[in-house]
Structure 1
């Protein structure tokens, strides 16, 4: 059990962030054991034959799918850049590197590929991760990021409408906030500590490659919680939602499909992939529907996320 004492009467130190490195390293679980992540099978099949340093990449996890803490540094900004995060990894102190690798490979020590001089190990790890990103992640990152950003927008709306405790409860049954104490029940039950977030704050990082919330296993690490993002089921699928026939006749198949999908926030890029049309066409429809009051929009980072308005909700319900 991890317990974070949240500092500040308005919980203003709780912040959200997206980490490309976090997604990259946690995805090694899916690469190692695809059967545990069935929703990612379209992606894992597509990268199965990629030219990667698989020996180094797969050595960074174990049969329990643990990842060394030095590969998941707390994001320094809400929208971190992979290059900046890899620089942090490359600067990992030798003692920290050895301790984190030993913690993962506790039953016999790190594999040979991770047993050399620390600087050589780090160079190979960073190069392997860079190649993995370029080949397997960069072509899909815009879509992945859109799902992560939509999750953060959803969490923000929950906080506004229902409060911070409701937002945490919505993340997982393993997470609960009572007064100013946040408790996180890890799958690894042997980890147990309590610490304050005063001076550090608490960073919440949505991820597409975990099924349960997780935190650093050491109380010396800055407070951070990785949690499963909403919308994973839509990530690799192309949808043509069945909108009510009356709605299709009234505003057309594409716009009725958009209105049906936008029950949850999404970007134009994500919507284009799911509907199988161009982003340019989707943007034209979204602008017209927003101007008509059927949609609302909010900017997060470099993306604009759209959501059905109250009028859009009534429009949908009136045609069913």
Structure 2
């Protein structure tokens, strides 16, 4: 299917980019639900799937609502007024969704499933205001296990994409930036042309402008959201996804070790993927007690964060630690969310 989204001068003026935690929630869950996880994310999936199964999140609300292919409920991806909303901001919007919007999304899902919805979704259709808070709670649990330990790395890649697109707009204009988003997206004659769409989008069905959302887990597709009176959204694969999960060369390892000590620098380097104290002790050769002591100090310094997964506690590098190891010139210690 092809679709054509026309643009007025006002639409172009209201076109903007944003990072969305909820788009990462929805697209990552869809990746996990696929018969075969997309290649770049298989290592991540191997770590995350056992945690979700242990918590029962592989058979909850998200499993009912997010199919491997087909329609995604639009109410799960609210339009943010800012370029970088927090998860809590988006979840507040999800919980406040108009009941009729929830029902429209569920009707669409039912149509794709030959009229069959689970008991859970039938209850949601009947009284959305009762069950939306439960969905929000499940999303928070999913985020804690599947996204939060990796968020510093994911966010860094998304921000790099926004920087690239912003420079592209400044140097070449919005039209070229739109034309180079994805092979299935083309700008021509004042319109955005999308091919291979599951659902068509027209300006009649949506509000003004356009919200462009880089996504790690949308790869390799462009996904869309359209609601009357709101700007359409395009979630497109962020640049550099192939490097996201690669073990990194830490350019400033030695200089960092001179400041915080070799053992602590080694532990930060080992946290290319989130890990428990026991795993880090095994990989680093340090004692479990020593690892625990170092991690406590690193957390106090804002270089690691903790994320509970069942009975285990996973440690992850923060954005500040990423910047120190990789040698970024400018570090905003408050940006790690």
TM-score, structure 2 length as denominator?
Answer: 0.68
Asked if the contact 2:206/2:230 (under 8 Å) is kept, the reply is no
Asked if the contact 1:7/1:13 (under 8 Å) is kept, the reply is no
Determine if the alignment matches structure 1 residue 82 to structure 2 residue 87: yes
Deviations 1:98-137 (A, max 9, x none): 2102212322332112211322331221111111012221
Structure 1 residues 178 and 121: CA distance shift in structure 2, 3 A: same
> Counterparts of 1:4-23 in structure 2 under 5 Å?
4-8=5-9, 11-23=12-24
State the aligned residue count.
Answer: 266
Deviations 1:64-115 (A, max 9, x none): 2531011111222101011111111111222211210221232233211221
Determine if the alignment matches structure 1 residue 113 to structure 2 residue 154: no
What is the rounded CA distance, in whole Å, between the counterparts of 2:65 and 2:180 in structure 1?
Answer: 31
Asked if the contact 2:4/2:193 (under 8 Å) is kept, the reply is yes
Determine if the alignment matches structure 1 residue 126 to structure 2 residue 136: yes
What is the rounded CA distance, in whole Å, between the counterparts of 1:281 and 1:206 in structure 2?
Answer: 20
Root-mean-square deviation (CA), in Å?
A: 3.4
Structure 1 residues 213 and 86: CA distance shift in structure 2, 3 A: same
Asked if the contact 2:185/2:194 (under 8 Å) is kept, the reply is yes
Asked if the contact 1:4/1:195 (under 8 Å) is kept, the reply is no
Name the one with the larger helix percent.
Answer: 2
Asked if the contact 2:226/2:232 (under 8 Å) is kept, the reply is no
> Counterparts of 1:28-43 in structure 2 under 5 Å?
28-33=29-34, 35-43=36-44
1:282 to partner: Cα distance: 5.6
SS in 2 for 1:35: coil
1:187 to partner: Cα distance: 2.6
TM-score, structure 1 length as denominator?
Answer: 0.72
Match of 1:286 in 2: 327
Asked if the contact 2:65/2:72 (under 8 Å) is kept, the reply is yes
Match of 1:64 in 2: 69
> Counterparts of 1:91-110 in structure 2 under 5 Å?
91-106=96-111, 107-110=114-117
Match of 1:238 in 2: 247
Which of 211, 218, 233 does residue 203 from structure 1 map onto? Answer: 211
Structure 1 residues 10 and 74: CA distance shift in structure 2, 3 A: closer
Asked if the contact 2:75/2:94 (under 8 Å) is kept, the reply is yes
